Amino acid sequence: MEQVLRLSAEATTDAHNGRRKLPDEIHSWYAGAVGERRVADILSRLGDEWTVLHSVPVGSEGSDIDHVLIGPAGVYTINTKHHANKDVWVAGRALRVSNHPQHHISNAAFEARRAAKLLTQASGLTVETAGVVVVVGARKLVIKAAPDGDDVTVGVERDSELLGALQSRRIYSDEQVQRIVDAAVRPRTWSLLPVSTVDPRDLQSHFEALEPELAADARRLSQVASKGAATARPQRTAPSRPPSRRPSKKRRSILPGLMKLAVFAVALIIAVNYLGSLGAPSAPAPASFASAELEQSALSQAAGTAAFALDQLSPSGVRPASLVIGEDSTLKTPDGSVVVALPVGTTADYAPSADGLSYTLTLTGPQHGSAVTVTPEAGVVPAPATAS
């Protein structure tokens, strides 16, 4: 909210209509603040055994943690993400919003890891912290595979399902919870920067006073964008002209000339095909690799290129139903779009998931039988060789 108010103070006045012109980036900050307020309201429903801290400044770079939860069931850092009317897809370390990759899971793991270290140092207890990415306003949330935060537990939840996702099993005694809370409420636990003197109640009231202007400005920008798309100029066509009335002349027939030309063209085509057949190359020889390691390295590079191309060719997030290898040893989609050029003789086994959001692609080398498999979740993984 503080950043929204700072940007609001930088607004200029439009010389034409006298309206305040807000900075463009204020709307993304406003959406984030709205998401954080939504989650804060949900967390206020937790019982008295929970302590909830909001917008916790951490480190020396001016960053903060949206929410920190401390209770008998554990310690959680909450990372709120407002993705209104977007589709969110999660699998392992990957999280995509409308098929655009995001770093929400790795960021949540980093926040939880840092909070655990700081709270452990300040409380004298071993504090394990889990990170939670709370998705606000999404049209659809698909968990294809559990989020992977490496050494840290990370969850991805809708805002409406957050309270139910918090584990209920007690892992800390009341005394331990109090020691962690005592450490967490000390600003020096999190950062050595000067403590903000802004009264949260004043911040809230100023933000609420600004909301009508922000909402109106967002609607105006949306209407302008819609009007611009709807009023695209139709293509102008030149008026037709009446045919000119010129005296007709007697035209000579060109049919005999066309017949001679056709006979010559047929003869020329036959001659070219015959000469071409004499020097036609045989099918290209399979690619040659000095070792299985070199073959697998080439396959790994091709698999990585294929994964990137499939992402670019699938803006909706749904991958092609099949892939084929052309005569030129290129892997293509059914509509002919090139995915990657393969070493000659490579075979490809492609299996998309039922919903098309994931796939498995296995490339097998032509000489040593080396193989690699690539998926959106795990990336490129070497597979056992299938031949000696």
Q: Residue 282: which pLDDT band, with cuts at 50, 70 and 90?
A: very low
Supply the pLDDT for residue 220. Answer: 67
Mean pLDDT in residue range 35-54:
91
Between 28-32, 287-291, 337-341, the lowest mean confidence (pLDDT) is in 28-32
What does the pLDDT read at residue 42? 93
Summarised one tens digit per residue, pLDDT across range 61-91 is 778 899 999 999 999 999 999 998 899 999 9
Of residues 310 and 22, more confidence is placed in 310
Asked if 127 and 119 count as a contact pair (C-beta separation under 8 A), the reply is yes
In the predicted model, what is the mean pLDDT of residues 185-193?
A: 90
- Given a cut of 80, is residue 122 above it in pLDDT? yes
77, 296, 306, 375 from 382: Cα distances, Å: 35, 8, 15, 12
The 3-class SS string of 193-253 reads CCCCCCCHHHHHHHHHHHHHHHHHHHHHHHHHHHHHHHCCCCCCCCCCCCCCCCCCCCCCC
- Measured in Å, how far apart are the chain's first and last C-alpha atoms? 63
Length of the chain in terms of residues written: 388
Residue 70 CA to residue 173 CA, distance in Å, equals: 12
Closest by CA position to 302, among listed 210, 257, 364: 364
CB contact set of 16 (below 8 Å; sequence gap of 6+) = none
pLDDT for residue 367:
86
| Position 286 pLDDT exceeds 50 | yes
Question: What pLDDT is attached to residue 130?
Answer: 96
The one-letter amino acid code at 173 reads S
Q: With bands split at pLDDT 50, 70 and 90, how would you rate the model's confidence at 121? A: very high
pLDDT at 197 over 70: no
With 0-12 / 13-18 / 19 or more C-beta atoms within 10 angstroms meaning exposed / middle / buried, residue 56 is buried
Radius of gyration, CA atoms only, the chain: 32
CB of 296 closer than 8 Å to CB of 372? yes
Instruction: Tell which residue, 82, 76, 128, has the closest CA to residue 104.
Output: 82
Across residues 302-309, what is the average pLDDT? 81
Angle at 148 between CA 317 and CA 54, to 5 degrees: 100
Residue 59: the pLDDT is 83
pLDDT tens-digit series, residues 199-218? 566 656 666 666 676 666 66
Distance CA 4, CA 6 (A): 5
Inter-residue contact 74 to 49 (CB < 8 Å): no
Residue 386 confidence (pLDDT) above 70: no
* Segment 334-340 mean pLDDT: 89
pLDDT at position 237 is 45
pLDDT at 382: 80
Highest mean pLDDT among 72-81, 225-234, 235-244: 72-81
Per-residue pLDDT at 115 exceeds 80: yes
Q: Give yes or no for residue 16 having a pLDDT over 70.
A: yes
User: Which amino acid would we find at residue 183?
Assistant: A
pLDDT on residue 201: 65
Which range, of 26-40, 58-72, 229-243, 344-358, averages the lowest pLDDT? 229-243
Q: For residues 270 and 135, which has the higher predicted lDDT (pLDDT)?
A: 135
> Mean per-residue pLDDT for 171-176?
94
Q: With 60 as the cut, is the pLDDT of residue 238 above it?
A: no
Kind plus residue range of the DSSP H or E element containing 262? helix 255-278
CA 126/CA 90 separation, integer angstroms: 30
pLDDT for position 243: 45
* pLDDT, the chain, mean: 79
pLDDT tier, 269 (very low <50, low <70, confident <90, very high otherwise) = low
CA dist 26 and 127 (Å) reads: 36
pLDDT reading at 224 higher than 70: no
Nearest Cα neighbor of 91 from 362, 317, 348, 371 is: 317
CA proximity to 348, closest of 373, 328, 368: 373
pLDDT digits (tens, 9 = 90+) for 137-169: 899 999 999 999 999 999 999 999 999 888 778
What is the Cα 131 distance to its own chain's centre?
19
